[in-house]
Amino acid sequence: MSLLAELRSLVLPTRKGVGHDAAAVRAAEAALARLADERTAAVAALASASARRRELLLADGTDESISALEADNDRHHRVLERLELIEGELLAALQQARVGARRAAWQAIHNEWNASVPEFCAAMREATRQFNRLLALRTRANNEGFASEAAATLEPPPWVLTDPTLIDNFEVVAERRAEGAPALAPAPAPPVAARRVLPAPAPPPGPVRAKRTHPPAPVEGGVEVVVLRAGFEAADGTSCDAGEKITLPAEIARRAAEKGAVDYVRTPK
C-alpha cells in the first residue's frame, strides 16, 4: 500500500452512527499526525543525502555514486510533494468530521432536553397539588378555631407555586420549539493570533543645557527679570532655576513676560 493510500485509509468514511463523528475526528487527527511524522523524516533524509552528495563532490567521487544520491534526493522531494498534496484533503476531512461531531453533540443535548421537559412539568404540577393541599390544611385549621396553633406549628410552604399557568406556558413554548430539527449556530471561528505590535522607539534625548555655576553676565541695556519657570534659557544659553534673577534684552524680556516665563523685577520706563 502506498503512503497516500495508507493515509487515506486512516480517515473514516462519512456515515451516521452514535459516536461515529467523534471517532472520525480522532481518525483524521491521527492521519495528520502521521503525515507530520512522514514529512519530518523526509526532510531529515533529504538533508542527509544532500550533505553526503556535497562530501562526494568535494572528494571528487564517481558520477555513479553522486547520481545515486541525486536519485535519493529526487525521491525525498517527491514524498514531500505528495504529502503537501494530500494534506489539504486530510484537513478537509478533519473539518467535516468536526462539524459532524458538533452537530451530533447538539442533537444529543436537544433530545435530552425534550425528554426532560414533560418530566419537569409533571413534577411541578404534582408539587403544585401538594402545595395547595398544605394551604387547604392551614385554612381548615383557621376555620375550625385553631388559628393560633396553626400559626405556631404549621409553617406556610414557600409561595413559588402559586401560579400554575407559568408551567402551562412553559410547556407550550417548549413543545413548539421542539418541533423540527434543532437549529445549530455556525461553529465559532478559530482564534486569530494577536498581531504583535512592537513598541515605538523612544525619541532621542534632547540637548542637555549646561547648568550654570555662576550668575549670568549682565546684558548691557537689558532688563532685570525673575525666572518663573525652571529651565528657562538665559541670554548666555544656560539653564535657569525658578526664582533666579537674570538680565535679558528688553524685547526678549517682554515676550517671555507675556508667556509667563519671567516677571519684571522693576517696571521698565
Domain range summary for the chain, segments of one domain joined by + = 3-166, 223-264
Closest CA to 35 of 80, 94, 73: 80
Which pLDDT does position 249 carry in this prediction? 83
Task: Considering only the C-alpha atoms of the chain, give the largest distance between any 2 of them, rounded to a whole number of Å.
Answer: 121
Mean pLDDT over 2-18 rounds to 70
Mean pLDDT over 209-214 rounds to 53
Residue in the block written with cell 545515486? 68
For 4-19, give the secondary structure using H, E and C.
HHHHHHHCCCCCCCCC
Which pLDDT does position 61 carry in this prediction? 83
Closest CA to 29 of 4, 16, 12: 12
Closest CA to 167 of 127, 115, 121, 130: 121
Q: Kindly report, residue by residue over 109-150, the tens digit of the pLDDT.
A: 888 999 999 998 898 889 888 888 988 999 999 999 999 988
Q: Kindly report, residue by residue over 52-93, the tens digit of the pLDDT.
A: 888 888 888 888 888 888 888 898 899 999 899 889 889 988
Share of the chain above pLDDT 70, in %: 78
Calculated CA dihedral for residues 102, 108, 114, 118, nearest 10 degrees: -150
Name the range with the highest mean pLDDT among 32-36, 151-155, 197-201: 32-36
Please tell me which residue, 122 or 259, carries the higher pLDDT value: 122
Evaluate if residue 211 carries a pLDDT over 70: no
Angle at 139 between CA 134 and CA 145, to 5 degrees: 130
Distance, CA of 63 to CA of 184 (rounded, Å):
64
Residue type, 146: F
Q: How many CB atoms lie within 10 A of CB 115?
A: 10
Residue in the block written with cell 409561595? 159
Distance, CA of 140 to CA of 128 (rounded, Å):
18
Evaluate if residue 18 carries a pLDDT over 80: no
Distance, CA of 232 to CA of 47 (rounded, Å):
68
Closest CA to 80 of 132, 122, 45, 52: 45
Residue in the block written with cell 534684552? 249
Residue 268 main-chain phi, psi, to 5 deg? -70, 145
Mean pLDDT over 258-268 rounds to 74
**Helices (DSSP H) in the chain: which residue ranges?**
3-10, 20-58, 63-143, 147-153, 165-178, 250-258
Calculated CA dihedral for residues 79, 82, 84, 90, nearest 10 degrees: -120
Distance, CA of 241 to CA of 243 (rounded, Å):
6
Mean pLDDT over 34-51 rounds to 90
CA 196 to chain centre: 13
In this structure, of 104-113, 229-238, 239-248, the range with the lowest mean pLDDT score is 229-238
Q: Kindly report, residue by residue over 156-189, the tens digit of the pLDDT.
A: 887 766 677 777 777 777 777 777 656 666 665 5
Which pLDDT does position 197 carry in this prediction? 38
Please tell me which residue, 4 or 44, carries the higher pLDDT value: 44
The average confidence (pLDDT) of the chain is 79
In this structure, of 71-75, 225-229, 237-241, the range with the lowest mean pLDDT score is 237-241
Closest CA to 235 of 259, 243, 227: 227
pLDDT band for 219, please (50, 70, 90 cuts).
low
Which pLDDT does position 203 carry in this prediction? 45
Please tell me which residue, 217 or 7, carries the higher pLDDT value: 7
Mean pLDDT over 10-37 rounds to 78
In this structure, of 38-42, 172-176, 190-194, 217-221, the range with the lowest mean pLDDT score is 190-194
pLDDT band for 215, please (50, 70, 90 cuts).
low
Length of the chain: 269
